[in-house]
């Protein structure tokens, strides 16, 4: 693909958006980063990410609420972008229980504005973030992109499944090549303060108990951020093509007669929650005080990504061991929060 035009990365002040934009800039590609910089969690962390990106040649930052139709239309005016990587979203399963309207605004309204911008400006490839949460009540492990995902157990998951359906519609109606990426529990330096690794590290260093849901009987497919961005980079280069073998009598949800594709990006190695906590304790040199609690609404017991399609189409498999990834996060955390125990809790008001 021709990357003379800047790549549009939405959610550039967020965890994955920041790291992906930094990867592109490190390769000398121009990037326009968009973010609303809301207060779902500590805006100071978000602005620090933006500050780092603005120190890179070829980066332009635009503060924008993507749910506002006219500003998004203006963003795409003149066919400015050939490739769009849409990572902006209202994330979090538990928060969707208390503030559902944030999800319809950020994940549904904003996404239709992005789709319309891509359609009107004839974008060559839209890569967008989905989530492992779409597998919902599915219990067949590992989770496969070829399985139906019609039973979400959180509104967050439902909005991301809606994104997949909306993207397919635009791929069919307008020939817009769309690739959806189902991320599996992404972690690493500059991570989100509402995620387990950040929450556990902050609490352990502060001498506070950590909440261990489902009494620790959970498994997660933790995926290091560098593996995520490396996979995204190779996927971005290859817009999907219509699948000539797609059968409407036995429809495969991961592909289509339209230029549309879904991939899992996960480590393919689920880890028990208590084992994950033990690695954090080892990296910190401190034993956690544990508050064992029942399963929370919207959670699932285990996630595990089937990544055979990703490996087949791009020759890519994540490779970062969990212990190495957690160690790198802890090193970053202690450096960023120099007092070692002051990580700010997510703002959910």
Residue among 68, 104, 110, 72 nearest 88 (CA) = 110
Q: Are 306 and 144 in contact (CB under 8 A)?
A: yes
* List 103, 156, 170, 333, catalytic entry: 156
Please indicate whether residue 215 is annotated as part of the active site.
no
d(CA 18, CA 9): 9
d(CA 12, CA 83): 15
Q: Are 229 and 212 in contact (CB under 8 A)?
A: no
Around 86, how many Cα atoms within 13 Å sit in the side-chain half-sphere?
A: 33
Tally of CB atoms within 10 A around 217: 14
Residue among 86, 70, 68 nearest 32 (CA) = 86
Tally of CB atoms within 10 A around 82: 18
Burial 127-137 (b: 16+ CB within 10 A, else e): bbbbbbbbbbe
CA dihedral sign, ordered 95, 322, 189, 58: negative
Cross-strand bridge partners of residue 272: 219
Q: Report which secondary-structure segment, H or E, holds 182.
A: strand 178-183
d(CA 265, CA 320): 13
3-state secondary structure 292-345: ECCCCCCCCCECCECCHHHHHHHCCCCCCCHHHHHHHHHHHHHHHCCCCCCCCC
Give the residue numbers marked as catalytic: 156
């Amino acid at each position: 693909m021709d990357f003379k035009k800047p790549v549009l990365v939405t959610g550039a002040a967020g965890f994955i958006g920041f790291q992906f934009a930094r990867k592109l800039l490190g390769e000398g590609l121009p990037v326009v980063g968009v973010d609303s910089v809301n207060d779902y969690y500590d805006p100071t962390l978000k602005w620090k990410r933006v500050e780092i990106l603005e120190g890179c040649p070829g980066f332009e930052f635009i503060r924008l609420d993507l749910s506002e139709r006219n500003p998004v239309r203006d963003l795409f005016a003149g066919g400015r972008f050939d490739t769009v990587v849409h990572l902006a979203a209202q994330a979090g399963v538990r928060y969707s229980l208390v503030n559902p309207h944030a999800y319809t605004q950020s994940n549904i309204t904003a996404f239709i504005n992005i789709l319309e911008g891509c359609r009107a400006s004839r974008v060559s490839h839209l890569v967008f973030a989905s989530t492992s949460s779409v597998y919902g009540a599915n219990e067949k492990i590992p989770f496969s992109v070829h399985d139906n995902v019609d039973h979400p157990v959180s509104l967050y998951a439902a909005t991301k499944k809606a994104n997949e359906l909306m993207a397919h519609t635009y791929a069919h109606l307008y020939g817009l090549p769309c690739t959806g990426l189902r991320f599996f529990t992404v972690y690493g330096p500059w991570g989100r303060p509402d995620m387990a690794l950040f929450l556990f590290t902050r609490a352990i260093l502060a001498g506070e108990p950590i909440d261990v849901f489902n009494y620790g009987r959970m498994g997660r497919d933790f995926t290091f951020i560098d593996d995520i961005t490396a996979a995204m980079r190779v996927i971005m280069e290859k817009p999907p093509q219509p699948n000539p073998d797609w059968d409407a009598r036995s429809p495969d949800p991961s592909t289509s007669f339209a230029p549309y594709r879904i991939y899992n990006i996960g480590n393919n190695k689920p880890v028990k929650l208590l084992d994950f906590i033990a690695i954090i304790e080892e990296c910190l040199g401190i034993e956690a005080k544990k508050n064992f609690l029942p399963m929370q609404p919207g959670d699932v017991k285990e996630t595990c990504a089937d990544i055979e399609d990703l490996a087949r189409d791009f020759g890519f498999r994540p490779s970062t061991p969990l212990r190495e990834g957690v160690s790198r996060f802890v090193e970053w955390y202690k450096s960023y929060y120099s007092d070692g125990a002051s990580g700010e809790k997510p703002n959910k008001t």
